[in-house]
Structure 1
Amino acid sequence: MNQDYCFNYTFIGNRQKPLILFLHGFLGDIQDFSAVIDLISLDFCCLLLDLPGHGQTIVQQDDNYLLPNIAQAIIELLTCLQIRQCFLVGYSLGGRIALYLGTYFPQYFLGVVLESASPGLKTQLERDRRILQDFELAKQLESHELANFLQQWYNQPLFDSFRRHPNFSQASLRRLNNDPFKLAKCLRYSGLGMQPSIWQQLSSNQIPFLLIVGELDLKFVAINQEIANICSQVNLQIVKNTGHNIHFENPQIYAQLLYQFCNLQQH
């Protein structure tokens, strides 16, 4: 296995059942999908990991935070664990990685679930602007208390419904366990501006995609409607009364969508 990565990972659920790999979002960790896992673990084996820059995963060099390198390392982890094929679920940052994996390593996945995910920015100008924004945020992470950064981050309109959730404080507290300097590296190297655009590759997707977005998250509804118009094997689900973080805001509906999608691919 790749010595530049030491992934913190765990299996939850029935090891005899179909496997789902879950990839969390920025600021998250191995526990982020726990409410969904509780609902599906009798019928699926769930593989959870901390992405580079998060939780207990250790990364040796800065360029190993680049999205293509992370994707390659995840493939090597699956190979090491003797996992030939599985389902893949990714949220936000994890969704961008999942889309990259599904595009360039389709043979490893039975289907890919993309929650609030983006294929990247279309122009170099957009990417350059985003890189500047992410580098500025990275500086803030390195020079301010993490609690202050979290407050600023979750004050974005994108997270309005997440912030109103009764369990928001608990979820926010868990994010304080992350290392701000590693998070800063994640922003610099894994941010949206650094991500290679996958828009051109979408029309030739080889495996089924399930796109999940919240109806209150208008920006990502528009992005995913565009993805759905390009891809051939795609199912777009817009979940009512939710925003960017659907698996947290409505785990019951989320689990239901996973069941339907995974069962459909197996029959």
Structure 2
Amino acid sequence: MVLKVQIDNYCFSYCSEGDSNHPTILFLHGFMGNRFEFKQAIAVLSKQFHCVAIDLLGHGQTSAIDQRTDQDVFYTIQSSAYFVIKFLDLLRVDCCFLVGYSMGGRLALYLTIHFPQYFHRVVLESASAGLSSAEVRSDRLAKDLQIATKLETGDFRLFLENWYQQSIFANLRSHPHFAQMLEQRLNNSPAQLSRSLRNLSTGMQPSLWEKLSENEIPLLLIAGELDPKFVQINRQMQKLCKFSQLEVIPSCGHNIHFESPNLFIEKIKTFFVL
């Protein structure tokens, strides 16, 4: 069932499962995902928690009510965080658990650092603290702008097939339900995804590395063994953040909650019930 709530000029779509009297977990999907990203995990966790998953701006069925004000500024990480906090306020969720994957993980870390009063504990799956160098951010943004143009002008299915040829998704491609996941991605709008990528790119995001030492919210950092880049990134994050712990999941790449859902659920339950 699709639920909707209006925040300023936007209509946000989300789903809610479990008893609302139980502790709430908010799930933030990755790039090209939607509110169904964590469907398998939510089916299990909703027995103990109130699970809420949102379509972030540019994804799923979240959209602008008045297209004339559908401006790029609303797609930045700062504005995305603002919308998430307004969403929690509208749902009257004073404090909750938070789970973010990849792009949603970067947003989750931004929320944790800038709005710590809203979160008990946070799980970051295959996430980063951004890019510390302005030069590296500029290079990354240039690459993402090229990708955004391909999204707008090319065949969307072909784009997806090429996207998942990246080495970090090698294990994911052999998953028996990979084809179904690909079909779900096709429910997004290429134009809106392009706008999201242009403005929520790691190249656009302010670095959060220097803020990690200030964080006091317990973090569970999860990375896949077959995703060495993010294993290294998360090891660096763990060293800087004393309230964090790292789990490297065996035989998994970038998308752990899809490749190994049972182990992913186990890690979350253990971390959230401590």
Bin the TM-score by the shorter chain: over 0.9
Structure 2 counterpart of 1:150, one-letter code:
L
| Structure 2: tracts of 5 or more residues without a match | 1-5, 65-69
Identify the residue that residue 205 of structure 1 maps to in structure 2: 215
**1:39 maps onto 2:49 in alignment:** no
Identify the residue that residue 92 of structure 1 maps to in structure 2: 102
- C-alpha RMSD over aligned residues: 0.9
Structure 2 counterpart of 1:14, one-letter code:
D
CA apart distance, 1:211: 0.4
Q: 2:158 aligns with which of 144, 148, 159?
A: 148
Q: 1:63 aligns with which of 35, 48, 73?
A: 73
In the alignment, is the contact (CA less than 8 A) between 1:139 and 1:184 conserved in 2?
yes
Structure 2 counterpart of 1:29, one-letter code:
N
> Residue 8 of structure 1 aligns to a residue in which SS?
strand
Question: d(CA) in 2 for partners of 1:206 and 1:2?
Answer: 29
In the alignment, is the contact (CA less than 8 A) between 1:119 and 1:199 conserved in 2?
yes
Q: 1:225 aligns with which of 225, 235, 249?
A: 235
Identify the residue that residue 121 of structure 2 maps to in structure 1: 111
Question: d(CA) in 2 for partners of 1:62 and 1:200?
Answer: 27
Matches within 5 A, 1:1-267: 2-59=7-64, 60-264=70-274
Question: d(CA) in 1 for partners of 2:181 and 2:128?
Answer: 23
Q: What's the TM-score, normalizing by structure 1? A: 0.97
Question: d(CA) in 1 for partners of 2:130 and 2:172?
Answer: 23
Question: d(CA) in 1 for partners of 2:158 and 2:58?
Answer: 19
CA apart distance, 1:61: 2.0
> Residue 7 of structure 1 aligns to a residue in which SS?
strand
| Structure 1: tracts of 5 or more residues without a match | none
Q: Identity over aligned residues, as a percent?
A: 46
Question: d(CA) in 2 for partners of 1:68 and 1:163?
Answer: 33
